Amino acid sequence: MTKTVKCPQCGKTVQWVPESKYRPFCSERCKLIDFGAWAKEEHSIPGEPAFDDLMSQELDDTPTRH
Ligand SMILES: [Zn+2]
């Protein structure tokens, strides 16, 4: 009996076998999407929303500055 898991990204059933090299994701794409989301979360420091607000505000105030 093969163990199966659900892809955390799209919910597709993935067989937990060595052949499923992106497990628990169903594909490389889903794996990359999840990694991207993780990296994004890592970028913003939890508990310091003020920092994030400052950043976006600064971007809004200087839209043409490069
Ligand atoms: Zn998937």
What's the CATH code, domain 4-61? Answer: 3.30.50.10
Between the CA of 51 and the centroid of ligand 1 the distance, in Å, is 33
pLDDT given at position 59: 60
Whole-model pTM: value is 0.55
pLDDT in tens, 18-46: 999 999 999 999 999 988 877 777 666 55
Between the CA of 45 and the centroid of ligand 1 the distance, in Å, is 27
Least Cα distance to 30 among 49, 52, 47, 14 occurs for 14
Between the CA of 44 and the centroid of ligand 1 the distance, in Å, is 25
65 pLDDT above the threshold of 90: no
pLDDT in tens, 43-52: 665 565 565 5
61 pLDDT above the threshold of 80: no
Domain boundaries of the chain, sorted by first residue:
4-61
State whether residue 32 is helix, strand or coil. Answer: helix
